[in-house]
Chain A
Amino acid sequence: MISNEVGYNSKVEGEVIVTRADSVINWIRKHSVWPMPMGLACCAIELMASAASRYDISRFGMEVMRFSPRQSDCMIVAGTVTYKMAEVVRRIYDQMGDPKWVVAMGACASTGGMYRSYAVMQGVDNVVPVDVYVSGCPPRPEALLDAMMKLQGKIGNESSVRNLSNKPEPTGVA
C-alpha cells in the first residue's frame, strides 16, 4: 500500500507533524467506528459474541455499540432481511449521520442466503449501499472482526476532504 501515513521525523521537525488532511481524518474515523447492531436473526448472536470478552471487538477500536442510529456510523446488518423489515432498515440507515458504512453480515443479509422465498429480500444491498459482505451462516466472530478490519482499510483510503466539498444531495426517506 502506498504510504499515506504520517510522515514525521522528530529530529528534523521537532514538535511539528506534517501530514495530509485525508490521512488525519481517515485515521480518526477508522479508529472510532461506532457500530449499530441491526440484529435481525441468529447472526446477531455471533455479533454479540464478537463484542464480548472472548473475541473482544474493542481491540480494533470499534467497541462502542450504539442502539441509536443517531449516535452510530456503521450499521451491521446481522440477519435475514424480510421485505417487511427492509423498509425499517432503510429508514434507520437514513437516520444515521454521514459519513456512514454498512456491513452485511452473513449469507442472509448478503444474498438472502437459504431463504429463496417470497418473504425475504435477496440481499440488503437492494435498499442500502453495502461496504463489506461477510460470508458464513452465521459467520464466526473472527470473520466479523476481519470484515471490520477490511472496513477500516476501506475507510483509510477514502477521499474524505473531497467528499466533504462534493457532498451529494441527501436522498433520505426518514
Chain B
Amino acid sequence: MSRQFATCRISPNPLGSLDSMIDDDFVKSLLDGRDYLSFKHHEDCLTINCLPESLVDFTKHLRDEETFDLLVDLTAVDHGDGAEKRFSVVLHFYSLVHKSYLRIHVLCPDNEAPCIPSVSSVFPAANWHERETFDMFGISFSDHPNLKRILMWDDYPYFPLRKEFPLAGIEVPLPAADVAEVTGADVDPAPMMGGPFVASGNSRMSEAEPRAKDESWTEKSEKPL
C-alpha cells in the first residue's frame, strides 16, 4: 500500500503530465461542434472561454461526460473601467480521473449590471461562491436560489472588490441603527498611514506583532511619492 503512495506522482504542470488524458486531442474534441467555446492559452492549466448562455449546459457536460466533477473555485475578475467587457467570472474545475484542473472564463456581457447564469443547479458548491462573487463584485447570477450578500451585511451599498473601491473603505452607517445610536459608532475608512500592516516574519515572537511597515509616513507627514 505504502509503495503505491510513494510512487504517486504530482506533476506541477498537468498538461505535461504523461498519464494525463488532457492533451491536444482532448481539447480538440471538447471544442469540436461547440462554437460557444474558444481556447485561451494559459501556462498553468487548460483554459476555455465560454459564452454565458451556454455555461450551464457546458458545465453539465464537463461533470457528466468529462469527469470534471469537482468545482474548486468560482470567482471573478474586474478588468477595470476602461475594459470593453469589465467583468469576467472564472470557474475552476478538477477531475479526479484526469488529475488536472480546467478553467472556464465567462465574460459578463453588461458592464453596468453584469449578470450570468448560475451553475448552482449543476454544482451545489457554486451556491455560496456565487453569493460571495455577488457580494464582492456585484455580479448577479440568474436562477440562483438565494442570491444575497454572504460576507458584508445586506444593506451595504458598495461592492468592495471592484477596482474603484478603496481598500480603507467608505463611510456608511453601522448595520444596526440602534447600536449606532447608543455608541455613536459608524463604519469609517480605516487609517492607512504607514501601511501595509504585516508581521515582520523572522523576528522574535515578542516583536512579530503586525505593525506599520513603512513608518516614514504618518497622519501628519504625507506618503513620499
Shortest CB-to-CB span from B186 to chain A, Å, is 9
For B170, list chain A residues within 8 Å (CB).
118
Q: Is the CB of A107 within 8 A of B179?
A: no
Question: A84 and B191: CB pair below 8 A?
Answer: no
Interface of chain B residues 149 through 183 with chain A (CB within 8 A): 151-153, 160, 165-170, 174-176, 178-179, 181-183
Question: Is residue A83 contacting chain B, with contact meaning CB distance below 8 A?
Answer: yes
The contact string, 1 if C-beta is below 8 Å from chain B, for chain A 83-94, is 110110011000
22 A-B pairs (CB sep. < 8 Å): A83-B153, A84-B152, A84-B153, A86-B174, A87-B175, A90-B183, A107-B210, A112-B190, A116-B168, A116-B192, A117-B168, A118-B168, A118-B189, A119-B152, A121-B185, A126-B183, A126-B185, A127-B183, A127-B185, A137-B209, A173-B176, A173-B179
**Interface residues of B, CB < 8 Å — how many?**
33
CA distance A126 to B208 in the complex (A): 26
> Is chain B's interface secondary structure helix, strand, loop, or mixed overall?
loop
How many A residues have CB within 8 A of the partner chain? Answer: 28
Does B199 belong to the interface (CB within 8 Å)?
A: yes
A48 to B193, CA, bound (A): 34
Is the CB–CB distance between A86 and B152 below 8 Å? no
Q: CB of B16 within 8 A of chain A?
A: no
Closest-CB distance, A155 to chain B (whole angstroms): 23
Q: Is the CB of A86 within 8 A of B191?
A: no
Residue contact A87 to B176, C-beta cutoff 8 Å: yes
- For the complex, is A113 an interface residue (Cβ under 8 Å from B)? yes
Given A87-B175, A137-B210; A116-B191 close (CB under 8 Å):
yes
Cβ of B215 < 8 Å from any Cβ of A? no
A120 pairs with B174, CB closer than 8 A: no
